[in-house]
Every structure is written in structure tokens, then in C-alpha cells.
Amino acid sequence: MTDPITSMQNIVIGYSVLGRPITVEFIGDKESSTRIFIIVGQHGDEKYSRKAVEQLVNHLKQRSTHSFYVAILIDANPDGYENNTRRNSESIDLNRDHVMLQSIETVAIHSFVRGWMPKIIIDVHNYPPRRKHLLKKHLILSHDIFVDIPTNPAILQILDDNKINGFFMALKSDLHSKGISCERYTIFQKSGKIRHSTIDIQDARNSLSLRYGAFCIILEGREPLKKDGSVGENRTISSQYCALYSIINWLEKNKHEFEKKTHIPKKNELVPVRAHYRDSNEILKMDLKNSKTKITSEISLKKYSPNIEITKFIEMPEGYVVPNSLTALMEVLKKHGFSHDSKTNIQKQVKIYYLSDSLTDRGSKRMREKIKTISLSDYVVFPIAQLGGRFLALLLEPRSKFGLHRFHELKLNFLEKQEYPILRI
Ligand SMILES: [Zn+2]
């Protein structure tokens, strides 16, 4: 007899470019409002994270009761996995495709999230411990686990700062007690600057949080070095399994935190559209391995930018008015499933921006604004009062650092001193 509260089933949520099924497996209590989605293998060559999640699946299947409902996508990039490549078969890096949704694999992930609405998403990866510019200083990254949460400042976190700190502390100390080292995901740039993750919205972590209000956790397990052999491989897999186990237990204890309603933006709400990592005099103390002596020791690192400084807020309009003629952009907005109104023959007052400098990859800073009355027959209106309305602002505002000017595939050809094609009402 099957346990009535525990259901297990698989569904195919889409197919890869080469026709391989993208399959999600469900474990746990169907009725639970705590829905957790675990994504593995966006990068097809990160095989250890897959093995760690397989161990978690086995463990969860053995539990007699569940207080949550988990969906697991073990193979987000089946063609990449088959060919042992990071990217999909069209050379798209899936974890940089969460704005444009050019790959059918990423589209499948987004439509699944939109339909199933998980409160929590865990995006599982492996990271290479050797970086060329660090090796020049004889340094290798030594943490078993790197972990982070969304960091784009436009994202309204479900958890407050105290809870987030509590999450990091609980995970670190639990893993530490098992001899596993864990730190916030740390990026060492070629310039020598050090920061945590990225504020860009092209990855699953930031994009899915901004679009669907989910709490996204990125979990990176350190890849073993070849010379570490099977001992190294097993350490990588078991460390990441322990981290997943620990995260699931923390989520279980704190599930009430995720019962809040998802935020729906309102007109005039402020959204940060530009931000940067602020230089600081702070020093990061972090364990790193010396590639010559093989000794891991705490190193004091300068040029550490732990803080993000917001440099531009915009006030949200009631909606963005997108001309039908921008077919590539319209396609992207459709793939994201944003709600829209197509009102024919309605006259409406809109705000038009005139750019006084060209839109570069930094976005436009100088512009004039005019009010005009136009017929909406050739436009589609995307209201901001919808789930992910803040995502629309980041994508469609001309002053946004994360805006359209970055995506040459949209063929928008922004020129100097012209009308910005997207209007505001
Ligand atoms: Zn990865």
C-alpha cells in the first residue's frame, strides 16, 4: 500500500534541443504549501552535483513522512550532460539565459516554475577550485561548499536580514561539525577585487526570485582535483549531499517563514535599477590552499567589496507600453508569461523618453521626458501590478543597468538622441 500523503511521480516539462526529455520528479506531501524545487545540471558537465542530489532523492524517498513537497529536476540540460559540456547543444549557457530565455531548456524551467510556484528553489552546481589568476599567487579555492542567495537589490527577500544570517550560520555550523567547510559564494576577479556572487539578473538565482518571488539558494560544491582521485570525488559528493540535507532540514524548521503572500508591486513604488559593489577597506579573512605547500590557511584579503550600493531608483509607472513592432522583445515577454492588455483603439496619455546620449551597456543616464496621447492599437500594455512587475522595470527601463541595451539579439539598435521605444503609462 502506498502512503496516502506521500506521492511520487515524474512529469516531462519539456524537451532539449536534441529532443531529450526534461523530467521533474516529485517527492513528499502534495498538500504541503512548502514547495521546494531543486534544479540540477544547468551546466551539463557538473556531474558531482547530480550524484549528490541523487543521494538526497534516495534519502527523501526513505522518509516516512514529509512536511513539504519537493520537485527535483536532475537534468536541466540533458544534451550538455550527454556530451559532458557546460552549455546546451546550441552553445547557450543556461544559467546566463534567465532573462532572454533563448534556450528551450530555460523556457521549460520557467514555465514549470510559473505553473508549480515553488516557495524555495535550490540551484545546484559545482565550481572549479583552480582559477588562473589565483594560481599565479599559488592559491586554490578550498571550500567544500559555496552558498548564496539572490543579491540583486530589486529583489524583495522573503526572509529578513536576521533570518538570512541565521540561515547562513546554521548551514555553516552544521557542516563544520561534520568537517565540511562552507562559505558564501565568493568571486575573485582578475583585477584582484573580491565580492560575493553577482547582482546580474541573468542567472537562475536572481531571475527566478525577481520573476516569481521564490527564495533561491545557489549551492556550489567544489570539484575535486584529478590527483585527488576517488577520495576527492567522494568528498565532493558527500559534502554537497550534507549541505542539501542541512538546507532541507533548516527549511523544514522554518517553513512558516515562507507562508507570506508574494509581493505585487504598485504604481509609484521605487525600484533600484542601478547598483554597484562599493569599494571598502574591509578585509576578508578566508581559508585558501597554497598550491605549492598544499597547506590550507586563513589569508587576509584586501579589495573586498561586501556591500552593494544602489545608485538609481525609478518610480514604477502603472504599466509599460511595448510596440508590437518589437517582435523579438514581445517574444521574450511572452516566454516569461507576463500578463498584458491589448486594448485596440483606446487613446491614452503616455510618457515618452528621448535619450540624449546613446544607450551603452551602462544604460542611459540623460533623457528628456514628454507626454503624448497615442492610440494603443499598435501596442501591448504590461501592467506592473503583477507577479514579477519589478522584473519588468529592470528589463524595460532605459536607465536600468540590466535593461534591453545589453541584448543585441533583440535588434533594437538604439541610436543617439531618439525616442526610447517603450512608453510608460
Ligand atoms: Zn554551474
Residue type, 127: Y
**71, part of any domain:** yes
Print pLDDT tens along the chain (425 aa): 444 445 568 999 999 999 999 999 999 999 998 999 999 999 999 999 999 999 999 999 999 888 999 999 999 999 999 999 999 999 999 999 999 999 999 999 999 999 999 999 999 999 999 888 889 889 999 999 999 999 999 999 899 999 999 999 999 999 999 999 999 999 998 888 999 989 999 999 999 999 999 999 999 999 999 988 999 999 999 999 999 999 999 999 999 999 988 899 999 999 999 999 998 999 999 999 999 999 999 999 999 999 999 999 999 999 999 999 999 999 999 999 999 988 777 899 999 988 776 666 565 567 788 999 999 999 999 999 999 999 999 999 988 999 988 898 888 876 556 888 999 99
Give the C-alpha distances (Å, rounded to integers) separating 123 from 5, 19, 144. 26, 23, 16
Q: Are residues 254 and 339 in the same domain?
A: no
Q: Give the CATH number, domain containing residue 88.
A: 3.40.630.10
d(CA 43, ligand 1 centre) in Å = 5
**272, part of any domain:** no
**Of 237, 262, 287, which marks where a domain is finished?**
262
Q: What is the pTM of this model?
A: 0.95
**340, part of any domain:** yes
Q: How many domains does the chain have?
A: 2
User: Residue 131: what pLDDT?
Assistant: 86
Q: Are residues 254 and 341 in the same domain?
A: no
**57, part of any domain:** yes
Q: Are residues 233 and 359 in the same domain?
A: no
d(CA 219, ligand 1 centre) in Å = 9
d(CA 392, ligand 1 centre) in Å = 26
Residue type, 191: S
**275, part of any domain:** no
**305, part of any domain:** no
Cell (9 digits) for 175: 557542516
Give the chain's radius of gyration (CA, Å): 23
Parent domain of 325? 316-424
d(CA 127, ligand 1 centre) in Å = 7
Q: Are residues 258 and 322 in the same domain?
A: no
**273, part of any domain:** no
Q: Are residues 39 and 176 in the same domain?
A: yes
Give the C-alpha distances (Å, rounded to integers) separating 151 from 104, 141, 281, 421. 26, 22, 21, 29
- Cβ-based neighbour number of residue 371 at 10 Å: 9
**177, part of any domain:** yes
d(CA 221, ligand 1 centre) in Å = 9
Q: Are residues 236 and 333 in the same domain?
A: no
Distance CA 104, CA 204 (A): 15
Distance CA 103, CA 324 (A): 23
d(CA 49, ligand 1 centre) in Å = 9
User: Residue 362: what pLDDT?
Assistant: 60
